[in-house]
Amino acid sequence: MPEENAASGLVRRAGGHVGRPDAGSLPAAAAWVDELLAAPGRRDEVGAEARDLAEQEFSLASCADRFESVLLRSAR
């Protein structure tokens, strides 16, 4: 995923791995997966962080607030 992609920031906040969109990034991605496989506690942490982030960023209230903001800006 490109670094400038907004989703890459969300993935990092949740403790995930973001790699360049090319074959050269595959070894780093594989190493990250190997780390998670070797550390069940860390794997659980990343899962919990991802869940928390998803609940914050994509809750109905959060999405509705952002949508309302877009509508209000476009009405001006």
Number of domains in the chain: 1
Residue 56: the pLDDT is: 87
Q: Does 44 fall in a domain?
A: yes
Residue 57 has what pLDDT?
85
* Residue-level pLDDT at 58: 86
What average pLDDT is seen over the chain? 90
Among 12, 17, 20, 22, residue whose Cα is nearest residue 34: 17
1 belongs to a structural domain: no
Inside any domain, residue 35: yes
pLDDT of residue 4: 81
- pTM equals 0.66
Domain of 32 in residue numbering reads as 6-74
What is the average pLDDT across 50-64?
Answer: 90
pLDDT tens digit string along 17-40? Answer: 888 888 889 999 999 999 999 999
